[in-house]
């Protein structure tokens, strides 16, 4: 089976750096405790830090791992963690090439959802998605999708066929629901457009445009420290500065 994140939830990352004097640590040792919940009981779990393999569990039932991560300030202090379930044969293999969330060109994603509409006939063949590159004017000369987005599945009835029911909306292509994910978008305001095409490649109707605001990845909390420590009770009070994007 390929690596999977299905059934893996509640991933928690805790930096293992404490200053028992109550001051600001001079620098993090870059050690993190990662915990998670997983329903994949028979598979091992790998932890990736910023797209690099950081460790693998010793047993399939383990749900905790201590790993090394980046240290420093600025962008290096941002830690992206992904827990992946793998088969026994792959537990020592670096499968980062299969992960899609850590590519240098990867950014926030936008999920577009639309319906074919009553204005489209049976000659509907495909859709194209266009963007404005944050200029305010959509560039219709080059679609974002590498290949046309098919209007009907490769086999079986058209999407949405008869789903409206008697007196409850459209049927066939007019009731079909489509979706496509646009990824790698830089933060800012984007205009995206969907265009329908017929079997001859002609555009069938005016494009449907939408404006979306893409937010950057939030900056992490900082100045993580121990505010006080009681040797008698062996308890520590933690403190930190909230993210500037909170």
User: In this structure, what CATH number is given to the domain that contains residue 71?
Assistant: 2.60.40
Q: Burial of 204 by CB count in 10 Å (0-12 exposed, 13-18 middle, 19+ buried)? A: middle
Asked if 73 and 133 sit in the same domain, the reply is: no
Q: Is residue 245 part of a domain?
A: no
Count the domains in the chain: 2
Digit-coded pLDDT (tens) for 32-45: 889 999 999 999 99
Backbone angles phi, psi at 76, to 5 degrees: -70, -20
Residue 235 is assigned to a structural domain of this protein: no
Question: pLDDT tier at 116 (50, 70, 90 boundaries)?
Answer: low
Residue 82 and residue 136 share a domain:
no
Residue 208 falls inside a structural domain: yes
- Domain span at 172: 110-214
Domain membership flag for residue 49: yes
User: Considering the entire predicted model, what is its pTM?
Assistant: 0.48
Residues 91 and 38 in one domain: yes
pLDDT, average across residues 135-139: 93
Q: Are 59 and 114 within one domain?
A: no
Unique residue bearing structure tokens 């893996």 = 8
d(CA 244, CA 240): 12
At 141, which CATH number? 2.60.40.10
Q: Tell me, what DSSP letter sits at residue 137?
A: S
- 103, 132, 156 - which closes a domain: 103
pLDDT at 59 over 80: yes
196 and 122 housed in the same domain: yes
Is residue 43 domain-shared with residue 95, that is, in the same domain?
yes
Note the pLDDT of residue 131: 94
pLDDT in tens, 161-205: 445 444 445 555 566 778 888 877 777 899 999 998 888 888 877
Domain-embedded: residue 125 = yes
Q: In the prediction, which pLDDT does 71 show?
A: 55
Q: Which residues contact 187 (CB under 8 A, 6 or more apart)?
A: 107, 108, 214, 215, 216
- Kindly state the average pLDDT of the residues 218-231: 73
């Amino acid at each position: 089976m390929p690596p999977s994140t299905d059934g893996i939830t509640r991933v928690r990352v805790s930096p293992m750096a404490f200053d028992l004097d109550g001051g600001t640590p001079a620098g993090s040792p870059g050690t993190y405790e990662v915990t998670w919940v997983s329903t994949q009981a028979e598979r091992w779990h790998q932890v990736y830090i910023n797209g690099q393999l950081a460790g693998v569990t010793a047993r399939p039932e383990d749900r905790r791992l201590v790993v090394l991560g980046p240290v420093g300030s600025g962008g290096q202090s941002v830690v992206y963690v992904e827990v992946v379930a793998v088969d026994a044969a792959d537990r020592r293999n670096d499968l980062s090439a299969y992960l899609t969330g850590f590519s240098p060109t990867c950014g926030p994603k936008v999920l577009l959802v639309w319906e074919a509409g009553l204005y489209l006939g049976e000659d509907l063949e495909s859709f194209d998605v266009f963007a404005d590159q944050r200029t305010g004017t959509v560039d219709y000369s080059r679609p974002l999708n590498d290949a046309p987005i098919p209007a009907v599945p490769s086999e079986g009835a058209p999407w949405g066929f008869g789903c409206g029911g008697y007196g409850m909306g459209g049927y066939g292509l007019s009731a079909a629901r489509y979706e496509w994910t646009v990824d790698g978008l830089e933060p800012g305001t984007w205009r995206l457009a969907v265009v329908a095409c017929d079997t001859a490649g002609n555009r069938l109707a005016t494009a449907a445009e939408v404006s979306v605001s893409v937010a950057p990845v939030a900056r992490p909390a900082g100045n993580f420290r121990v505010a006080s420590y009681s040797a008698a009770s062996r308890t520590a009070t933690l403190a930190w500065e909230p993210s500037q994007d909170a």
